[in-house]
Structure 1
Amino acid sequence: MNYCDLLFDTQEQDLGREIIIDGESGKRLTFKELQAEVMKVANFLKSKGYEPGTVIATHLYNGAEAAIVFLAIEYIGCVVCLVDPLFKAEEVPYYIKDSGSKCIVTYLEKEEIEGGLTSKVDVINVSEIQEVCEKNDYQQTLPMYDFKEDELALLLYTSGSTSTPKGVMLTTGCFYTFLKKNHQSMYRYEPDDRILCFVPFSHGFGSISVLIPALAYKAGIVFQKTFHPAKVAEIVLKENITHMLGVPTHYRQLLRFEPFINNLGKLKAAFCSAAPISSEVANLWYEKTGIYLDEGYGMSEATTLIATRMSRLPSASGDVGFPPEGIISVDIVDDNGTVVEDGTIGEIRVTGQGLMLGYLNRPEETKERLRNGYLYTGDLGYRNPDGSFVVCGRKTEFINVAGLKISPVEVETALNSHSDVIDSAAVGVEDNVYGEVVKAFVIKKQNSSLTERELIKYVSERLANFKVPKYISFVHEFPRNNLGKVDKKALKNM
């Protein structure tokens, strides 16, 4: 079993199809050409003595090389450790040391990073990979490594919002479980489909949710290094994009660029994940483009996909639809692990196929997250009578006002419904009387005269008094991570 089977089992009629289009460098690869370049890099890594089980880190922006190196590492049976390319040279050594990586492939120059690493770590600049791929000399055909179903193949690091970042251990079996989940609950791509990937390949969203089904269905991927609304609208037409995957902030920004909306209506589908999206944004997207904004809920610990809402409007903000039947099952439980009634908010708990092996070298944190065959997600939500689920936010992000729990999503939905509000983020701040009160950070439209008092009055007509923000700060932008999620810990410290 090997992820690369999905590439190398490509039939003759599909070998000439394009699989990789690098929007930054202009590099274009057919399935046959990708096979050749993966084999060249696999030989290159093997020649350095890397054996199955060796951890090799990649620190690369979206692009052809990110996919080539990922597949080459998998091909020879090594473990891929994905490191976010936004991390600076000073931050990278933590991930190398924690993962036990013997090698890192990076866009940084060797001298930028070597000082923070032990001499035993091999630093390969991405230019070396490009040179290997460009060589026309004969490359020995290597046998593809056969992973056991439960053998470690990938390390994805969590954001570390409540502790230092942890390595989520996933197997090749997890990849194939994702493919089954995708087949049932997401998109069954056609060979002529083109998927736009501006979500980071260094996260499961890019390396699992985009690459695996593209290889399996013989569709093409168009990589963009960064997200920019104008570039997205342009490339949708230029490359005949059929599917786009992003996070809520991407879609909010795209909706602000009225001249580009017609381009986006040419898509077959658009998918949103990583954070709950407001029903207002989903409804507006449908109104403006004529296509549904599908939504998913997932996490690295479950090999991304847990539930999806497809081809319909949301019933409420955070409506993420149904889990893939027969593959995983989802419950809502209280603090004692007891399943609660439909409509009652509790912790989202998952069991079934595709769960992580655990956190690398973190037995106590693994025990906390994985209990008796269940994955306790740390997210709160509720189940609807029809079996669909609504995500309300992280347990750590819920606001506790005098013992009353408030979902930030609910507050943000009310704020975002104001015509002058572009986006908002609600957090809990300390209060001597109530323990916590709601504080909101709001991005308003340019030239808007909206005041804090006016917005509080507006929201008070839509929310119970204890949910109404006591303070509102107007800001130009939010601190965000590479996936586009608002960094609420950073907001609290502002």
Structure 2
Amino acid sequence: MLNLAFLLEQSARRFPAKTAVMLDEHHLSFAELNGAANKIANALTALGVQRGDKVALMLPNTPHFPIAYYGALKVGATVVPLNVLFKQNEIQYHLEDSDAIALIVWEGFLAEAAEGYRRASTCRNLVVVQAPGVDLPLPDGAVTFGSLLSQHAHIFDTVQTMPDDTAVILYTSGTTGRPKGAELTHANMFFNAMISAERVIHAQPEDISLCVLPLFHSFGQTCVMNVSIYAGSTLTMLPRFEPVKAMEIIQRDKVTIFAGVPTMYFYLLNHPQSGDFDMSSLRRCVSGGSSMPVEVMHAFNKKYNVVILEGYGLSETSPVASFNQLDREPKPGSIGTPIWGVEMRCVNLEGQPVAVGELGEVVIRGHNVMKGYYKRAEATAEAIRNGWFHSGDLARVDEDGFYFIVDRVKDMVIRGGFNVYPREIEEVLYAHPFIAEAAVIGVPDPALGEEIKAVVAFKPGQSASEQELIDYCKDRLAAYKYPRSVEIRDTLPKTATGKILKRELK
């Protein structure tokens, strides 16, 4: 028996009065956080949620997220975190594809979420989180998070799930461009949090972690929230990354651990006010999500006297697969070595290991690899072959066993740590009545790593401005997905079979 909610229950027993999470002046102890999660577990049970049911969360980084997250896990339900930037059609797709029967959403996202919920054929419970003192009109049948907390008991007998039961479904995407749900088990998530806490981050009860990575993303969920809860550390939460606000919190709360994507480090390093704050409390910084520029890593270390440990992972691997770990001298530019209990290889097209220094696809095997893609047996069989998960990333490994990501097999663009899949954007563009051809690529950006660019050709006699096309995409896609620039051509380069040659567009 194993339930990921044991992370919270263990720390509530060990450190009942210690602050678990805080948002500015609002603090919750581990006992209070566990009690609130128990109330939500009781509430979900009363709403008919049972072991194996799916509960979707569309919440920002506030204490409501861990309350709802661990509350759903206690029932034995599967948590389906949704990107808070999703539009209504995206919300509908994820609710239906995951078979979610309940959606817990922050009031600020309700305009999009309510319509997506209404359209979804599977979802029958809508719970709205409202800020104190706010009393907005609710959709028919909806209940408030606050009312559930006030109506239910703070004691709950956690459902004894099996290690291989699905704890979380994290959505990713593949060559088809349609998001796929990676099923991560209680064992996947528990071991990834435990090993990350003990062997990578070395988190301690006295640590304070800045929680600014979005908790709907695997990096923030495992390496920040679950690591901190496991270690008995304190989470200080920031709903949205703003460099000055982040530095204010680091100084105010004496933050010791910071996990972020390279874009965040870029802004903390280069913001005009970066010299105005005391960042000396930082003792551990970790980076993931996309490749960290070596010059940023060196400059950050020099300015703040803290080493950034870079790692690698995917939603399908819970997410951590490798890291520059403290027992070995880190190598800037490297994603480090596999974590305990995980194997990695670089292989050729036949699946055979390549020689040291040669380029190959990264494959991964271990406790961190997902159960599979939800309801997609063929995609699962393609991704996991002979027990090895095929990442789609190209890398080389040196003589010391350190891995270096070189390129990506897929056309995925990483914008500020967010994975963006061109096919999804291209499908939106192709739905435009004037567009005949479309391709989406990533172009270098000094702050975000990559920016989204669309290249289009119009149907005969049709035209639209660059801004019109950007606005068209903006209305249909999450904020991190829509292209910031559009190039208009008479035609796009193609292969003999008619496939657009993206490499000639870059």
Pair in the same fold by TM > 0.5: yes
Paired residues of 1:274 and 1:483 also in contact (CA < 8 A): no
What's the % identity of the aligned pairs? 24
Superposition pairs of residues 454-465 of structure 1, within 5 angstroms: none
Give the 3-state SS of the residue equivalent to 2:268 in structure 1.
helix
Q: In the alignment, which residue of structure 2 is the partner of 1:350?
A: 364
Q: In the alignment, which residue of structure 1 is the partner of 2:53?
A: 54
Q: In the alignment, which residue of structure 2 is the partner of 1:88?
A: 87
Q: In the alignment, which residue of structure 1 is the partner of 2:3?
A: 2
Give the 3-state SS of the residue equivalent to 1:169 in structure 2.
strand
Q: Could you say if the C-alpha distance between residues 218 and 485 of structure 1 is closer, same or farther in structure 2, counting changes exceeding 3 Å?
A: farther
- Quote the offset at 1:298 in angstroms: 0.6
Paired residues of 2:36 and 2:154 also in contact (CA < 8 A): no
Task: Quote the RMSD (CA, aligned, Å).
Answer: 3.2
Q: In the alignment, which residue of structure 2 is the partner of 1:291?
A: 306
Give the 3-state SS of the residue equivalent to 1:142 in structure 2.
coil
Superposition pairs of residues 37-186 of structure 1, within 5 angstroms: 37-107=36-106, 108-109=109-110, 111-118=114-121, 121-127=124-130, 128-132=143-147, 135=150, 139=153, 141-159=155-173, 162-183=176-197, 185-186=199-200
Q: Say whether residues 1:238 and 2:243 are aligned partners.
A: no
- Could you tell which deviates more after superposition, 273-282 or 255-264? 255-264
CA–CA separation in structure 2 for the residues paired with 1:354 and 1:32: 29
Superposition pairs of residues 265-276 of structure 1, within 5 angstroms: 265-276=280-291
Residue by residue, what CA displacement relative to the aligned partner does 1:167-205 show, whole Å, maximum 9, x if unpaired?
A: 000110112221343145312222121111111100111
Paired residues of 1:273 and 1:296 also in contact (CA < 8 A): yes
CA–CA separation in structure 1 for the residues paired with 2:485 and 2:314: 19
Superposition pairs of residues 94-493 of structure 1, within 5 angstroms: 94-107=93-106, 108-109=109-110, 111-118=114-121, 121-127=124-130, 128-132=143-147, 135=150, 139=153, 141-159=155-173, 162-183=176-197, 185-261=199-275, 263-310=278-325, 315=331, 317=333, 319-325=334-340, 327-397=341-411, 440-443=443-446
Residue by residue, what CA displacement relative to the aligned partner does 1:66-86 show, whole Å, maximum 9, x if unpaired?
A: 110010000010111111111
Residue by residue, what CA displacement relative to the aligned partner does 1:247-298 show, whole Å, maximum 9, x if unpaired?
A: 0111111111254245333311111101111111111111111111111101
- Quote the offset at 1:230 in angstroms: 0.4
CA–CA separation in structure 2 for the residues paired with 1:73 and 1:439: 37
Give the 3-state SS of the residue equivalent to 1:21 in structure 2.
strand
CA–CA separation in structure 1 for the residues paired with 2:370 and 2:483: 25
Give the 3-state SS of the residue equivalent to 1:10 in structure 2.
helix
CA–CA separation in structure 2 for the residues paired with 1:490 and 1:224: 33
CA–CA separation in structure 2 for the residues paired with 1:321 and 1:489: 35
Paired residues of 1:199 and 1:483 also in contact (CA < 8 A): no
Paired residues of 1:169 and 1:360 also in contact (CA < 8 A): yes
CA–CA separation in structure 1 for the residues paired with 2:409 and 2:61: 31
Paired residues of 2:92 and 2:117 also in contact (CA < 8 A): no
CA–CA separation in structure 2 for the residues paired with 1:131 and 1:443: 43
CA–CA separation in structure 1 for the residues paired with 2:193 and 2:351: 30
CA–CA separation in structure 2 for the residues paired with 1:190 and 1:140: 27
Which consecutive unaligned segments of at least 5 residues does structure 2 have? Answer: 131-142, 415-421, 423-440, 448-473, 488-501
Paired residues of 1:276 and 1:392 also in contact (CA < 8 A): no
1:200 aligned partner, one-letter code: P
CA–CA separation in structure 2 for the residues paired with 1:490 and 1:371: 39
Give the 3-state SS of the residue equivalent to 2:96 in structure 1.
helix
CA–CA separation in structure 1 for the residues paired with 2:481 and 2:325: 22
1:368 aligned partner, one-letter code: E
Paired residues of 1:248 and 1:273 also in contact (CA < 8 A): yes
Paired residues of 2:210 and 2:237 also in contact (CA < 8 A): yes
CA–CA separation in structure 2 for the residues paired with 1:365 and 1:439: 25
CA–CA separation in structure 1 for the residues paired with 2:159 and 2:67: 16
CA–CA separation in structure 2 for the residues paired with 1:287 and 1:357: 42
Q: Could you say if the C-alpha distance between residues 57 and 277 of structure 1 is closer, same or farther in structure 2, counting changes exceeding 3 Å?
A: same
- Quote the offset at 1:90 in angstroms: 3.0
1:211 aligned partner, one-letter code: M
Residue by residue, what CA displacement relative to the aligned partner does 1:323-379 show, whole Å, maximum 9, x if unpaired?
A: 124x01110111111101111111001112121011011111111110010011111
Q: Could you say if the C-alpha distance between residues 71 and 314 of structure 1 is closer, same or farther in structure 2, counting changes exceeding 3 Å?
A: same
Paired residues of 2:346 and 2:395 also in contact (CA < 8 A): yes
Q: Could you say if the C-alpha distance between residues 487 and 309 of structure 1 is closer, same or farther in structure 2, counting changes exceeding 3 Å?
A: farther
- Quote the offset at 1:95 in angstroms: 0.2
CA–CA separation in structure 2 for the residues paired with 1:439 and 1:140: 49
2:51 aligned partner, one-letter code: P
CA–CA separation in structure 2 for the residues paired with 1:91 and 1:184: 37
Paired residues of 2:210 and 2:259 also in contact (CA < 8 A): yes
Q: Say whether residues 1:34 and 2:48 are aligned partners.
A: no
- Quote the offset at 1:482 in angstroms: 8.4
Paired residues of 1:333 and 1:348 also in contact (CA < 8 A): yes
Give the 3-state SS of the residue equivalent to 1:189 in structure 2.
coil
2:124 aligned partner, one-letter code: V
* TM-score with structure 1 setting the length: 0.78
CA–CA separation in structure 2 for the residues paired with 1:150 and 1:86: 31
